[in-house]
Amino acid sequence: MSSIERTNWRDEDLSKRHRLWGYDCPAVDLDFVLTEYDNGTPCALIDYKYRTALRWDNADANSVVLAKLGVMARLPAAIVTYHDDPWQFCWHPLNEEARSLMRGTRGRVLNEKQYVAGLYALRGRTLPTQVSDRLDPPPASQQAQQLAAAHLTTKGGMTN
């Protein structure tokens, strides 16, 4: 059965109706899942969550389903928390493919250039200079980096 609609901006009527279909007909709403791809071939499944997202863990239904989708498709599956002032990202792998993809970055805050370079690498490509030049530079101050890092790594509560 589907969970109770918590945000009321999706189709609440369908969510309510789905719960009527019974306990043995579960469903999850994957928040903002993007399929990274190259030349029409999927490369990764990423569920993006803004830095203020509610806490989650690897055992919740959304994470388990996304991880299994990744395994079934032989694709990395991850949750990525992000902050937009400046743009920063934190990689939370959900399966082995995702853990090996950005080895050493789990729970570490990446500036925009580092993260986008990783997205290019998963496609077997190098981040072009003309793209890199348009991306946010790392935060100017150590304090800004620490503030963003605190939001990105603790709000989600993700543990692997």
Of 29, 28, 43, 126, nearest in space to 78 by CA? 43
DSSP state letter for 86? T
> What pLDDT digit, counting tens, does each position of 21-45 carry?
888 888 877 778 899 999 999 999 9
φ and ψ of 128, to 5 deg = -70, 145
Q: Where are the domains of the chain?
A: 1-29, 31-154
Structure token digits, residue 26: 């579960």
pTM of the model: 0.76
Rounded distance, CA 121 to CA 110, Å?
A: 15
Give the model's confidence band at 156: pLDDT under 50 very low, under 70 low, under 90 confident, else very high: very low
